[in-house]
Amino acid sequence: MITAATLSGLTGAILVGLGLYGLIADPRPLRKILAFNILGSGVFLVFGIIARRGAAAGFPADPVPQAMVITGIVVAFAASALAIAILLRLVSETGRASLRPDTPGAAQTPGD
C-alpha cells in the first residue's frame, strides 16, 4: 500500500526527470528556466515527504525540512529573476534568444 506521502515523493521524482529533460533538450533559454523551476519543485516535494514522514511530537510534519523548502522557494525565485534579467540583456545585445556561442551579431564587442 503506497501512502499519500510516498505518492507525492514519486511525483517529485518524475518531476525531477521531466525538468531535467526540458533543461537539456529544449534550446530556448526561457523554457530552460521554466524546466529548471519544475526540476526544483520536484526536489522540494521530496523534501516535503521527508518532512511528512518525520511527523512526530504532535506535529503532522517535521518543521525543519518545511522551513528549508520555504527558503528554497524564495531562492529559486531569486535565481529565476536573475536568469531572466541576464537573458533579456543577452537578447538586447544580440537580438536573439539563444545560448549558442557563435550566434551572428554576438561578436560585437561591448563598448566601455
Partner 1 sequence: MNALGAVDLGLALLVLAIAGWTIAAREAFAAIVGYVAYGLLLSIVWARLFAVDVAMTEAAIGGGVTGVLLISAAARLRQAQTAEDERPTLPLRLMAAALSALAAIALGAVILSLPEPGPSLAPLAAKNLAATGVGNPITAVLIAFRSFDTLLEKVVLLLAIIGVWSLAPDRYWGGAPIAPRAARPVGALTFLAQLVAPIGVVVGVHMVWVGADEPGGAFQGGAILAAMWMIVMMARLSEAPPVGAPWLRAALVAGPAVFLIAGASGAVTSGAFFALPQAFAKPLILIIEAFMTLSIAVTLPMLVAGPPRRAPL
Of 17-56, binders to partner 1 (CB under 8 A) are 17-22, 24-31, 33-35, 37-38, 41, 44-46, 48-56
Whether the CA torsion 39, 41, 43, 46 is positive or negative: it is: negative
Least spacing, CB of residue 108 vs partner 1, in Å: 14
Does position 106 bind partner 1 by CB under 8 A?
no
The set of cell numbers assigned to 15 is: 518531476
> Is residue 65 within 8 Å of residue 51, measured between CB atoms?
yes
Handedness of CA 28, 80, 34, 19 (dihedral sign): positive
Closest to partner 1 by CB, 87 or 109: 87
Report the site for partner 1 in 78-97 (rule: CB under 8 A): 78-82, 84-89, 91, 95-97
Shortest distance, CB of residue 107 to partner 1, whole angstroms? 16
Smallest gap, in angstroms, from Cβ of residue 93 to partner 1?
10
Closest CA to 80 of 44, 43, 31: 31
* Local structure of 92: helix, strand or coil: helix
